[in-house]
Amino acid sequence: MPSPRISPSRPLWVRLPQAVFAAAGLIFATCTIVAEIEYAKGAFGDGRTRDERLQYIKSAVRWYPPNHEFRNAVSYFHFMNRQKGSLPEAVEAHVVALESNPYAFDVRRNLASLYYEAGKKELAMEQIGIIKSRSPNANIVLIVNKNPSNN
């Protein structure tokens, strides 16, 4: 005797939603797994160049955009992997990350640090003011790159 859940005698209007939800679950799981693999390739490197690693992280964002860790990873990558001439790119990555997650304390703090490095102290103080308005007891320590050859 066939199972009542997969019986062909059940009407289409009962079977179709089950198939749609099953397909959606498989797509979701596939996108999540691929995004995690791409993120790991970019975050941990394994002998890849800086640009290759960055492309893997951006690929993870494309595969699974709802994950805020992936969306913020581009800004974290630019903050931690600096090279000569990368300061404007790092600032842009942080601004983009804040557009999708305006309450990310660490991204905003890192942006304030980048503005400070660039000599834009009023923009740095504006970011610190936003942090203080949202978290009055926050103890903010800016992480500043003292190596001018990396700016």
Instruction: Give residue 139's pLDDT.
Output: 78
pLDDT single digits (tens) 43-53:
887 788 888 99
pLDDT single digits (tens) 26-74:
999 999 999 999 999 998 877 888 889 999 999 999 999 888 888 899 9
- Going by pLDDT thresholds of 50, 70 and 90, the confidence category of residue 2 is low
Query: How many CB atoms sit inside 10 A of residue 104's CB?
Result: 18
Instruction: Give residue 29's pLDDT.
Output: 95
Dump the DSSP string for 16-79: HHHHHHHHHHHHHHHHHHHHHHHHHHHHH-TT--HHHHHHHHHHHHHH-TT-HHHHHHHHHHHH
118 pLDDT above the threshold of 80: yes
